A and B are shown apart, each in its own frame.
Chain A
């Protein structure tokens, strides 16, 4: 399975989810399970690092949207780290740039949540 998920704590209540690989209909359940587990455990401020993601499709976007919906029920947030132009283009086309806070690097994402 071509996706790796690593969760690590950041400052305060924030957790960073590092994703490496491709997120499609086959691999997105792995990402969904990891994020769902985090939220179930009461972590409502997430930074999802897409820097290692080479490819994402609508199922991957669906996982991110689902996560955002769930954390917002608890006044939480989902921020993204993404510089890949092809992936940013998909967020642009779908209008998700208006819904997610997208940062160039981890430092600025953490700083924005502080």
Chain B
């Protein structure tokens, strides 16, 4: 895990795209969320959302070797990006299709305040999600 300068407030984590490492991502993000004074329930929501994002990478992107998580800590808000650098098969699934990616993505959309889930040719599949402290706008 690479922790950048305090003023930047960005934490990056890369884990192997394997089931046994999802709990590592879950716990790391919970520790970061704790710094923002989220409630216990909000932290549980974030943990589940991150785990679902990682699980989605593992189940869908068989060619991906690792999952990259970026956590941007801003006042009252945690922005998380999960990338898997998988190869997109043209015509197989477009960005809009990714929005309905099963129970896991449904949970992420339910638990986080903002979610954007798409495939990018350069970055692979990218899931961006935001949780605000107290759900404030």
Residues of B within 8 A of A57 (CB): 48, 51-52, 55, 104, 107
B20 within 8 A of A: yes
Q: How many chain A residues touch the partner (CB < 8 A)?
A: 17
- Interchain nearest-CB distance for A76 vs B (Å): 23
Contact in complex: A24, B19 (CB < 8 Å): yes
Main secondary structure of the interface of B (DSSP, over half): helix
Q: Which of B41, B51, B102, B111 is within 8 Å of A24, CB to CB?
A: B51
Contact in complex: A58, B102 (CB < 8 Å): yes
21 A–B contact pairs at CB < 8 A? Answer: A2-B23, A24-B23, A24-B26, A25-B22, A25-B55, A25-B58, A26-B19, A26-B23, A55-B48, A57-B52, A57-B55, A57-B104, A58-B55, A58-B104, A59-B55, A61-B103, A86-B44, A89-B41, A90-B48, A93-B111, A94-B106
Which B residues have a C-beta under 8 Å from some C-beta of A?
Answer: 19-20, 22-23, 26, 41, 44, 47-48, 51-52, 54-55, 58-59, 102-104, 106-107, 110-111
